Chain A
Amino acid sequence: MLDAIFGRLTWDSIILVQAVENPNINTIITASAAAMMPVGGVMIVALLTWMKWWKPLFEWLTSVDHKKIGTMYIIFAVIMLFRGVVEGMLMRANQAVGLDGGFLSSNHFNQLFTTHGTNMIFFVAMPFLFGLINIVVPLQIGARDVAFPRLNQISLGLTAAGGFLFMISLMVGEFSTGGWTGYPSFTGRLVNPGVGPDYYILAIAISGIGSTLTGVNFSVTIYKLRTAGMSFMRMPLFTWTALCTSILLIFAMPPLTACCAMLGLDRFLGFHFFTNDMGGNLMNFINLFWMFGHPEVYILVLPAFGVMSEIASTYSGKRLYGYTSIVAATMCIAVLSFTVWLHHFFTMGQSATVNAAFGVATLLIAIPTGVKIYDWLATLWGGRIRFTAPMIYLCGFFVLFTIGGLSGVVLASPTLDYQLHNSQFLVAHFHNVIIPGVLFGILAGIHIWFPKIYGFRLVEGLSRITAFLWAIGFILAFMPLYQTGLMGMTRRTVAYEDPALVPWMVVSGIGSLILGLAFLFILLTILVSVLNRKKLMVPFGDPWDGRSLEWATPAPTPEWNFAVLPKVECRDAFADAKAKGTAYQPIGKYDDIEMPANTYYGFIIMVMASGLGFGLVWHMWWLAIASLLGAIATAITYAFMPQKQYIIPAAEVREIDEAWRRAAREGTGVTRDDECKEANKGLAIPATITNP
């Protein structure tokens, strides 16, 4: 009877119980991590009750506003980033003392690198970018929301459900030890019968479906909801990269879902897709996984490139150099990203012809990427460069990402891959493109668009320190790994035998401490900014002398985004309007605005998906079946209920909008000299007028 209810979940599966029964450094570390969740949960519940925040909380959770959904993605990602950074620091610390065995057990370390990778890719980088895309894209194309607001909520719900499974594995049971790539037969039923690989499969498959839906949603949004006059070649670069990422998501996520489903069938029902015996072939998993995995790299980095484009032109007060070139290069990268996946397994035994073809294809990606970097440099040429936090990220990106590109070209060579595959050189390479590429882009993006959504800037000094800490921490933590890789050290190794590696590992460990500090500085920056928000207010909405449409709205942006949908006649529409003096001019006619109403759809789907995943992992079949049926019933029910709308009367919109426009026309604004001072209320005197 108990088996039917609890499946294979027993008292001993709970990590805290393990720590009590068998206390050692490994169980204590996991147990303290596990304990943070119930403790944190109780504190949050107490806070919500004390502050009477339950109602606002549910207003957020049921909201379909793209800005709120974007914010929730980012909050989720920050929480997960905390876990990811701590895991990284633990691993680096272990390796710093890892000569002939560190302080962590092998099993613990193996879970750490698996969760670290899975987490950073699926639950940090992707939600961060989805958050930014959600917040920025509708504003940049002059839309009131995304094409399918309810679907957007479901995407978030599925991502959160994947995150729930991932986090609950910290408290109950264990996570996979098979690396974020989860290759069978190591993750197969025979070799790993435990719950770990099941958590892995279900967490990434469920959140993966959410990502596919995000791709659909944003490609339709960008194709269909662009405002009048916003032709493709007038779109801001961030929107372009968001479009490419959305297309990549649609084509790249299904192979992941498929290979997870197939591995699931192997594990749950004894199929033989990837087993050693009965005609199964693990190479198919690797093939499918990287058919997703390689485009995934560009799913992550393209929006970051978009942010870099915005930084280069906005913070040097000039037009983007080579817009057409950059758009073409972005599209090239998007297409080429599907032609190179085999370079993740050059050493699998295929012929030299195949390897050479994929090696050259990989090199080709270096061309458009190089072009983009040159274009951004040329954008700075002839500008008036302001060294605020985003520019620091951009400069760090120039130097460090280029080094990452160099090591990428090295790894693209099959000949060298026979040596460097699976080595620390590879670990150094992908951190070298993901931290200075993706993470710098995300952090800079948050700095830029934060005031747009919340109405106040982030404090500049702390933001700059944060940027430097990330750069220094990255250099110390990962540059040594290039060397250790060349010296023959493999990845995923809990310990090593060569004493010559020790000094490099110690430096790397120190670097990881700085990265931890850098993470704390993100929180500190936000905290100090919130406390000083009165001084940092930018109600006019244009704190950086912005160029695209999102800056042509007040800050915080009202829920309807644009009182009247703008018309666009050129690139950099808002910069153009400011230069011509047509910005903030009165609008004659206001109409009623219809906005989608709040719904519980996404929230219910999130609960059901979590239940389905948890039920499957622990073989609680009743829970899995009930959740699945519940999810289907929810979908059918909502399909018959038209999306509710609510009307914001024209008079109300007019009152708010006219007051803002009048104040902006009458206000004096600030030059870029005062950009980071209290005087910056978000009204810019255009650089074209004031610059020397």
Chain B
Amino acid sequence: MIDPSTNLAIAESFLQPMGPVAADQLRHLKIVTLLTLIAVVPVMVSMPWILWRYRRSKPTGEYRPNWESNRILECLMWGVPIAVVALIGVNLAIMTFRLDPYKEMGKDPLQVQAIGLDWKWIFIYPKEGVALVDELVVPEGRAVELTLTTDTVMQSLQISAIVGQIYAMPAMTTKLNFLAVKQGEAKGMNSQFTGKEFWKQKFQVYSVSKEEYAARMKKAQSSDLALTADTYAILAMQGTSEEAKKPLAIENRQGPIEMVLGDPKIFQRVLARYMVDDMTPESQPGSPSYDPKKSPLPMVSYKPMMGMEM
């Protein structure tokens, strides 16, 4: 399905799939459409014919004003949709299980955590000790497991060309498993409306070779910026990642924000804040009166609830 030789500029959607999930989705779209056409085409074909045949001005068919039932026709009318729906239904169920975003796409997937903020994403690589803002770099051919939450309102992280989307919600985690099988650049975004600069909440996804991936991680590891509770609180202010550069005092730096993971528990602490604190307008990111100085993350070590393991 996926031809690794084609060279894409930026893959905007699953019409240019970069991974098996998106490729399956595209194929499923075609199958469902074709199957549904079995029920749709008879309407499209017979309507003009019936209208022509029985037009009042010059009818060619017999007038049967009291005709109201026909057993065979009735069986067809119920039977065809039932058969089509049965076919699609089986297909739908199989695909739903096969492409469950919670299902790992390979052994030992690369763990990445994503925190949605207004209007940017922080991607945390716990093992590598790296955090990137609005940039997701993954090695080609290796399964990735993205664990998501947000620290504001509900968002939905979508990487169309590779996998699709899943909601991210405060105080909760969701998962998105995927695999990119060719190198290239894909568009990622938040698809759930979140306010003023929602439309700018896009990020770049790079599927790169193993070597390039290692190099990218190494570069980030040498960053002079660290993701700690303090810098996190600044990132949590409303604005795009470009707009966050000024308060972080890196406004002259080109390219996406790269950070060392100063606090490896930052993801858990973001989740935990909704369990232990009564949020105020000052401490809630996304609120108009949010104040990074008054928004401490709790120090508790967060024990995940059942089914929410990190």
Contact = CB atoms under 8 A, between A and B. Distances in A.
A415 B196 contact: no
- Counting contact residues on chain A (CB < 8 A from B), the size range is 35 or more
A497 B284 CA distance: 30
B294 interface: no
Contact of B278 (A277, A370, A419): A277
A356 B93 CA distance: 5
A386 B32 contact: no
Interface of B: 12-15, 22, 24-25, 28-29, 32-33, 36-37, 39-40, 42-44, 46-47, 50-51, 54-56, 59, 61-70, 73-74, 77-78, 80-82, 84-85, 88-89, 92-93, 95-97, 99-103, 152-154, 156, 158, 160, 163-167, 169-172, 174-175, 187, 189, 191-199, 202, 273-275, 277-281, 284, 286-288
Contacts of B279: 190, 275-277
A11 to B, nearest CB: 21
Contact of B170 (A276, A318, A413, A487): A276
Interface in A394-446: 395, 398-399, 402-403, 405-406, 409-410, 412-416, 418-419, 421-423
B68 A320 contact: yes
A500 B9 CA distance: 13
Most B CB within 10 A of own CB, among A188, A323, A418, A498: A418
Nearest to A354: B96
Contact of B199 (A322, A380, A406, A496): A496
A488 B13 contact: yes
A191 B153 contact: yes
A418 B47 CA distance: 34
Contacts of A398: 43, 47
B64 A382 contact: yes
Given A106-B198, A186-B153, A349-B167, 20 more contacts: A191-B284, A193-B281, A322-B77, A323-B68, A348-B174, A353-B97, A359-B96, A366-B81, A370-B77, A373-B43, A378-B73, A381-B50, A385-B50, A387-B51, A387-B55, A413-B32, A419-B160, A421-B165, A486-B14, A491-B193
Contact of A421 (B156, B281, B288): B156
B15 A486 contact: yes
Contact of B169 (A283, A322, A415, A421): A283
10 contacts: A374-B43, A399-B47, A403-B40, A410-B29, A414-B96, A415-B92, A419-B14, A490-B191, A494-B199, A687-B65
A234 to B, nearest CB: 14
Contacts of A364: 85
Nearest to A370: B81
Interface in A592-643: none
Contacts of A356: 92-93, 96-97
B74 A322 contact: yes
A691 B63 contact: yes
Contacts of B22: 419
A404 B62 CA distance: 33
Interface stretch (A45-53, A177-185, A257-265, A677-685): A177-185
Contacts of A419: 13-14, 22, 25, 158, 160, 164-165
A150 interface: no
B63 A692 contact: yes
A324 B59 CA distance: 28
A304 B32 CA distance: 27
Contacts of B59: 384, 692
Contacts of A486: 13-15
A261 B7 CA distance: 53
A185 B153 contact: yes
A13 interface: no
Given A106-B197, A373-B43, A347 B12 contact: no
Nearest to B275: A277
B210 to A, nearest CB: 28
A349 B174 contact: yes
B65 A399 contact: no
Contact of A418 (B50, B80, B166): B166
A232 B51 CA distance: 31
B51 A413 contact: no
A395 B32 CA distance: 25
Given A382-B62, A415-B28, A352 B154 contact: no
Given A276-B274, A418-B101, A380 B50 contact: yes
Interface string A537-557: 000000000000000000000
A495 interface: yes
A490 B192 CA distance: 8
A558 interface: no
Given A399-B44, A418-B164, A191 B191 contact: no
A487 B13 contact: yes
Given A380-B51, A398-B43, A402-B43, A688 B77 contact: no
Nearest to A495: B199
Given A347-B156, A348-B167, A402-B43, A409 B66 contact: no
A282 interface: yes
A520 interface: no
Contacts of A374: 42-43, 77
Nearest to B15: A486
Contacts of B78: 325, 367, 371
B175 A405 contact: no
A80 B47 CA distance: 34
